[in-house]
Amino acid sequence: MTDKTQNAMWGGRFAAGPDAIMEAINASISFDQRLAAQDIAGSRAHAAMLAAQGIITDSDAEAIREGLLTVLSEIERGDFPFSAALEDIHMNVESRLKDLIGDPAGRLHTARSRNDQVAVDFRMWVREQTDAAIIGIIALQKALLDQAEAGADWVMPGFTHLQTAQPVTWGHHMMAYVEMLGRDAGRFRDARTRMNESPLGAAALAGTSFPIDRDMTAGALGFDRPAANSLDAVADRDFALEFLSAATICAMHLSRFAEELVIWSSAQFRFVAMSDRFSTGSSIMPQKKNPDAAELIRAKIGRIMGAMVGLFTVMKALPLTYSKDMQEDKEQVFDAADSLMLALAAMDGMVRDMTANRDALKAAAAGGFSTATDLADWLVRELNLPFREAHHVTGTLVALAEKQDCDLPDLSLDDMQKVHRGISRSVFDVLGVENSVASRTSYGGTAPTEVRKQIARWKEMLK
């Protein structure tokens, strides 16, 4: 087979042959340029440490420092000449540094490798995204707290199996997501603590014979300590996996809430009205207002969870230490982080803008025999019936109400006493939905008094 035939098989993009293919598969600069700020920060810390340890001269360190600042300025202005031939952000920066300052640039890579360099860059980037996720979560929690406070005593149906179960309050429902998001933030904080160890100084895999000060570089870059094992420092990406795991769980919570907003904003429910800022119209049906932002948030978990599975698959069978497979660690993490931050910001905006329909919530809360459990509880409490018997009596009364096409509070006392003669008029005190929610005063319950306590607790925690 001739080279011409081979090139035709590879297609127009790779008409230059094997060299073009190798460059395309090997280069990462198209995406790892996002690590530029972290790479330059790591190099500045490394150069300062080398000078402090007498490994390079102070004048070389100063030239490196100034040159790196120039490189960073060029990148931030969009003037930097990125080159795929130089493979990655590390070599692009170092090559440009040499253009700017000459020979001192060649001393920067003393006592380090691209292996520990990329590990420290990526950790720093993921750490920043972790901090950003926590900030985004807290902002959304505060938006939910505002909604909860406004509707702490607004009754609405609580659901199991998407069937009306018991009355709850709007505030209680909003606070459920505050709690979920609180655990999400906790997972990110936990992951941050574990990831905050510096790989810099691990070099290729075995450390270095130069008298470096890893505590100095770790401190300069905001790490709690240097990583204790050079093999582990360059070989693992569990910090990224933890980030993706926390992001996936958070995205799942956002997806569940987004689904509720899609349902609640429908003409069949009318529980909430979404603002025009987070809705779109139909191309042919002028009456429609589509909750597109909520639907897109609902879908984001697919990308984020896919990134997690993808990185687990990359890492699952790699022998120690570094393998080129690990170049496939970044794009999916970048995409997942972008997707999560966008979803958090969009949900924050939707929650702040949405308006709950108090009348529709209350009307729905009163339907579906939502106070049946209150009736059963009353039979236990007032007539001392075993709960199983109270459950049976209540079920009989529900069947009677269905037959009469009415709700439980609409049954006559005479009808109720035909089912159980001990029932008295005071039963009607528990059958109203407001009475129902007000009675749920157990810790964490839906009673407005309890909801307001939880709102106050979270406000204090989020100060």
Decide: residue 2, CB within 10 A, 0-12 exposed, 13-18 middle, 19+ buried: exposed
| Rounded Cα–Cα distance for residues 296 and 305 (Å) | 15
Marked catalytic residue, from 30, 59, 282, 412:
282
| Rounded Cα–Cα distance for residues 207 and 200 (Å) | 9
Marked catalytic residue, from 161, 209, 426, 442:
161
Tell me whether strands 272-273 and 163-169 are parallel, antiparallel or unpaired. unpaired
| Rounded Cα–Cα distance for residues 312 and 318 (Å) | 11
Helix or strand or coil: residue 355? strand
| Type of residue numbered 218 | A
- DSSP code at position 432: S
- Write phi, then psi, for 160 (nearest 5 degrees): -130, 140
Q: Where are the beta strands (DSSP E) in 68-204?
A: 155-160, 163-169, 197-198
User: Are the C-beta atoms of 360 and 271 separated by less than 8 Å?
Assistant: yes
Q: Which two tokens stand for residue 169?
A: 């309050």
Instruction: Single out the residue of 97, 62, 64 nearest to residue 80, CA to CA.
Output: 97
Task: Give the DSSP H/E element, type plus range, for residue 456.
Answer: helix 448-461
- Write phi, then psi, for 163 (nearest 5 degrees): -110, 145
Q: Which two tokens stand for residue 461?
A: 């925690």
Decide: residue 48, CB within 10 A, 0-12 exposed, 13-18 middle, 19+ buried: buried
Torsion of CA 404, 407, 411, 417, to 10 degrees: 100
- DSSP code at position 198: E
State yes or no: is 161 an active-site residue.
yes
| Type of residue numbered 352 | R
Query: Which residues are catalytically annotated?
Result: 161, 282
